[in-house]
Amino acid sequence: MAGDDRTAPQAVERGARTYEEILNDPWVSPEEKQEIAVEAAVGHIAVLLVQRGRREIASLLLEVEFLTCEYDGDAQTRDLWLEVPSDQYSSFTSEIIEEIRAIFREVCRRRNYPFDWLGVREVLPDVGPQWRQQIRDQLGGKRPTNQGRRVRTGPPQFVDDYLVFTNSGERSVYRALKSIQESDLPKNDTIGIYPLAGGRIPGRTWEPDFLVTYKGRAGVLELDGPYHNARRALDVTRDHLLRDAGIGFVDRIPVEALEDHSELFSALKRFLRRLSEVK
């Protein structure tokens, strides 16, 4: 196959505008429009699934890590691949994939998106020369103490207190929560911080950015990307699933807050206050 265009979901959204408005914007380059059409197709599928009451299937689309567009020279088709972590791949059964494909065909026909076929496959891990030792360590139980689900074949880049984070933003939030834990709260009335604590809720295995416990309650804290509005319907679905499973409060920290120390601490303290007030 040739013409592989790979993009992370929601990497090309533009504020609160719809995808159609972005695609019709003359200032958007053809290359960007290609990426936007990829994301728009999957976004339409997800929202339609929610509207049709297929919330569990819609929640699976939250697990997609990459959207890859490839041209199949043999079939002469433009293929769209949903790339998901290995532990989620089995959740996409043939029946679920066919239901997604049916909506995909409808969306592409009605919106004139330039795609012919949709498939689901596993994300290939990044592998380095030390992969043998990394596998030996993982099989021997030498791994960080939190439940990071993704297989890592290279040394972790972001680590604090033997806990691994997927990016610097998560680590910054952890450090701020730890500061509140150690400096602002008494030891007999403090918080528990559980980064990337993998778990299972109905229909999916999920790894929230932070599970926080406080005053006998459990809350989830997520770090939002800069272009988040278009996925709000899926977030609402996930929030309902979490509350049904006993999570008292769900909140999100915008990445913009990471650049302002006082804003980040204010957001975290507001989260803890609201968590403590949950009935």
Instruction: Give the three-state DSSP class for 183.
Output: helix
pLDDT score at 36 = 84
Confidence of residue 212 (pLDDT cuts 50, 70, 90): very high
Residue 168 has pLDDT above 50, yes or no: yes
CA angle 172, 178, 184 (to 5 degrees): 125
Which is nearest to 270 in space by CA: 241, 249, 247, 255? 249
pTM (predicted TM-score)? 0.52
Residue 129 has pLDDT above 50, yes or no: yes
Q: Which residue carries 């496959």 as its tokens?
A: 121
Q: Domains along the chain? A: 2-122 (3.30.300), 144-276 (3.40.1350)
Beta strands in 116-170 (DSSP E): 117-122, 158-160, 163-165
- Classify residue 13 as left (phi > 0), alpha (psi -120 to 50) or beta: beta
Q: What percent of the chain has pLDDT over 70?
A: 82
CA angle 62, 68, 74 (to 5 degrees): 140
pLDDT score at 119 = 95
Instruction: Give the three-state DSSP class for 221.
Output: strand
- In the predicted model, what is the mean pLDDT of the chain? 81
Residue of higher predicted confidence among 78 and 242: 78
pLDDT score at 64 = 87
